[in-house]
Amino acid sequence: MMFEGKVALVTGASRGIGRAIAADLSKNGASIALVGRDEAALGETVEACRLANSAAKVKVLTGDVADRASVDAFVGETVNEFGRVDFAIANAGQSIDSLLLRLKDDVTDQMLSVNLKSAFYLCSAVAKPMMKQRSGSIVLMSSIVGLTGNAGQAAYAAAKAGLLGLAKSLAKELGSRNIRVNAVAPGLIETAMTEKIPDAAREYMLKQTALGRAGRPEDVSGVVSFLCSDAAGYMTGQTLVVDGGVVM
């Protein structure tokens, strides 16, 4: 129970990696604020948290992470409920694939809003209580396509690459207040988002993976818990790649 007395806020907590992160933090004793748009799916995440820890304290917050006022409200409600916020996990994300010459402006705007601007809003909102506490850990969920790029994913990759620069910049801004900011870049992870990948593309991706398999959400959640823990207390501005050995 290394996170006893700690409070975490996780966006994109409805399913997949976000649900696994919430359950892992709960297992280790943290109180959790779950943020998402699907209330029914968030209810399933609550069950996952309480399965991991029967005494888990969980709060559900529904709304749009791409709206600054909503994100400010999420953080305010979390602090009002639990008294503090120690960990903020910017996990909300969406992928809409399109080749550049077919890429519509509304898709570009959506990719930047959901994948990048939402993280700006979350970091800005949690920085205030964390600075007051003089402690905190922020984890931004990027992707290996933010490191390597990928044909047909220019908008998504640009947003995910932006998170890496955001992590480094905020690590320098907030480090004097004992607030750490790191990023995680997963590869092919078995989630609802990756179920839509065509078989041929999946087979190609697996051939590029040294471990020869897709990852599980739990492969990522353990890394996030590490970054929140005291074991990573001297790590900030870093990107941890969790891809089974694609990017080396």
Which residues are tagged catalytic? 156
Q: Report whether 136 contacts 86 (CB < 8 A).
A: yes
Handedness of CA 5, 56, 13, 164 (dihedral sign): positive
Q: What's the 3-state SS for 192-226?
A: CCHHHCCHHHHHHHHHCCCCCCCECHHHHHHHHHH
DSSP tag of 115: I
Is residue 69 classed exposed, middle or buried when 0-12, 13-18 and 19+ CB atoms within 10 A define those classes? exposed
Contact of 121 with 71, CB cutoff 8 Å? yes
Q: What is the 3-state secondary structure (H, E, C) of 125-187?
A: HHHHHHHHHCCEEEEEECCCHHHHCCCCEHHHHHHHHHHHHHHHHHHHHHHHHCEEEEEEEEC
d(CA 128, CA 123): 9
Q: Please give the structure tokens belonging to residue 160.
A: 């995910």
DSSP 8-class letter at 7: E
